[in-house]
Every structure is written in C-alpha cells, then in structure tokens.
Amino acid sequence: MRTVFSFFFILLFFSCAKQQKQKLPERKPFSKVEITPVFNDSVSIRAIAVTPNNDLVYGGNKTTLAHYNATTHQHTNLLKEKAPDYLDISFRAVAHINNTTYGISIVNPALLYKVSGDGTVKLVYKEVHEKVFYDAIAFWNTKEGIAMGDPTDDCISIIITRDGGDSWEKLPCDLLPKVKEGEAAFAASNTNIAIVGDETWIATGGKASRILYSADKGKTWKVYETPIVQGVETTGMYSVDFYDAQNGFAIGGDYSKADINEANKIRTSDGGKTWELVAANTNPGYRSCVQYLPNSNAKELVAVGFKGIDYSNDSGNTWKHLSDEGFYTIKFINDSTAYAAGKHRIAKLLFK
C-alpha cells in the first residue's frame, strides 16, 4: 500500500509541476536593443568570452588578448610585455575557463597562449606552417579543450588538450573527414565550434560548407552535408550554435555580397545530421555570428554582422532587424543582456 501511495504521490507531484510549468507566461518578443559602449580603440575584435562573474575576455589585432572588468570598467592587456618575440599578432579565438584565459593567433606561426588567474603567461602550443590559420577555440570542461582552423593537409586542423591546456596535440588526418576542394573555415566570430556536453559540432565554409560532428569529445568524427550557400571562397557557414543536443542553428552567406539572403540560414532538430534552409529570400543577409538566447526553449536567436543586429523568436523562421550598428560577434550574459564586439569597439547590449 505504501508503495502504491508513493507512486501516485510522485505521479501527482510531477503532473502538477508540469501543469505549473505550462502556465508560465511566454516572454514578450524583443522589439529593440539598447547599446552601451564599453570600449573604443583602434583594435578590431572578433573573439570574446564571458567569465563566470560576467567580466569579458577578448582577442583582437595588435597583440590584444585582454580582460574587461565589468565592475571597475578597466581593460587589461594580458600579454603586455609578455610576448616579446611577437609584437604584432592577431587573436580571433579566445576562451575562458577555470579562471584561465586562452588565445590562439591567426597566420604563421600559430601561437596558443595560456594566461592563468595570477597573470602567468605560458606559450602552450606553436605551429609553423605556411597554411596555418586557427579560427575558434572552446572547452568541454576544465581539462579538455579544442581549437580548429584551416587545413594544412587534407583535413580541417584540430588540436586538443586533455591536461587543462598545458599541452595540445594536433589530430592526424586519418582520424578526421577529408576536406573537399576549397573547404576551410572563417575566423569571423570565434563561433565555428559548438559544444553541448561531450558533443561537438564544427562549421566549415568556402567552396564546401559542412558540419564535422564528434559525440565523444573529439575522439571520433563524422561529417554532415548542409544546404547553406557554398561554392566560392567567401560563402558558407560563418557561425554555428546549439541550444541543446538536438537543436542547432547556423548562419553565414557571402561576405562579399552581404545583402544576399536566399540560402544563408539553416536549422537542425536532429543533432546536426540533417539541416533545412529557413527564412529563405528574407533578411538578414550575411551575418558573422548567431547565438541562442539562454532559457528560450530554442526559440530565440540573435544574429550580428557588420550590417547590424537581428532577432528571431520563432526558431529562425522570421527575423526582426533591431539595429544597423555593426558587430562581428556576440555572447550572452543572461537571457536579455550580451556583450558584442566588432571593428574598434565592444558594447553591452540590453534587449527589450
């Protein structure tokens, strides 16, 4: 009897909880965005990461790997006078985890720096190759991380750490899908990599634009085709994000023809195996970054690019243009506030 009573009590509890959850009012769609500058300089910034206390780390040209303190509004270059051999390098990929900042530079040589919370700077990876060009970096947990870049051989370049970022190893091409002719990636917003749990999705672009997928933190890989515009060097996915293990969105287009919008937005609901075009022949056109809003049930998205900020509250089927202000990349602090960065600027965005 006690077992039967307990069963029905639990059933009733979860039934009531579900009903209460269903009664929660839906959030009113955003109709505007307030933009507050927090940084204006000659540095162009394509990579940002939010820290647990809502500070920001960011990477740019002119050897900029920096920290913004949201309380004091101070900016600190973490590499100042600590990278003497490389006086003018550019970072388009940064990450922050376990009170540690990582930044990997573009072009030859690729330099991956680890900056600990006490300010200690360590060069943890260096790759010399005429084709080297790293585009994005992300972490599964405090010990394991991944960075990806253009092919130097016949596969996308992928390096992985399993020891908290102290050492990195490049995956051999026999463990990865072979690239198609002209397939590479874009260092446009540090959002070529999406991670949910142990699962990883990587967006490529160029003459071919596909999704590389790993279910086991980079140990094995598959590749999935996409219907996004592709075929020339400037086309394809520039950014990918996953809300959960099933729902993902990618955006891009043609950087050189930014108003073209016919096949630049795609969505998946099966973990990236298949993708469908959405909002075809409607704006936005080319955008360099797309992100799901937290706590939005995979419904709300914001896309940014040098032609402005756009918002969707129906999983990308329709979009509202909120601002002409140009940015390259965006990261959310919560479900209404974000940092965005671009040419010579960082701003705090409040969606209303």
Q: Considering only CA atoms, which of 308, 311, 289 is closest in space to residue 300?
A: 311
Give domain status of residue 278, yes or no: yes
Q: Is the peptide bond before 109 cis (omega within 30 degrees of 0)?
A: yes
Q: What is the pLDDT of residue 88?
A: 83
Residue 199 lies in a domain: yes
- 100 part of a folded domain: yes
Number of domains, the chain: 1
Domain presence at residue 301: yes
Residue 250 lies in a domain: yes
For residue 92, being part of any structural domain is answered with yes
User: What residues form DSSP beta bridges with 117?
Assistant: none
62: domain range? 34-351
| 113, containing H or E segment | strand 110-115
Q: Of the candidates 155, 44, 65, which has an alpha carbon nearest to the alpha carbon of residue 111?
A: 65
- How far is CA 352 from each of CA 85, 200, 322, 336, 348, rounded to the nearest angstrom? 46, 32, 10, 7, 13
> What's 174's DSSP letter?
G
Given a cut of 80, whether residue 296 has pLDDT beyond it is: yes
pLDDT at 27: 82
The reported pTM is 0.92
CATH number for the domain that contains residue 277:
2.130.10.10
pLDDT for residue 297 is more than 50: yes
Residue 193, pLDDT score = 98
- In a domain, residue 16? The reply is no
Range scoring the smallest mean pLDDT among 1-15, 36-50, 227-241 = 1-15
Comparing 18-32, 79-93, 259-273, which segment has the lowest mean pLDDT? 18-32
pLDDT of residue 80: 73
How would you class 32 by CB atoms within 10 Å of its CB: exposed for 0-12, middle for 13-18, buried for 19 or more?
A: exposed
Q: What is the pLDDT of residue 25?
A: 52
Rounded CA gap, 314 and 29, in Å?
10
Higher model confidence: residue 223 or residue 9?
Answer: 223
User: 151 to each of 157, 175, 219, 222, how far by Cα in Å?
Assistant: 5, 14, 18, 17
- Residue range 313-335, pLDDT digits in tens: 999 999 999 999 999 999 999 99
Mean of pLDDT over the chain: 92
1 is a domain residue: no
The pLDDT of 231-240, averaged and rounded, is 98
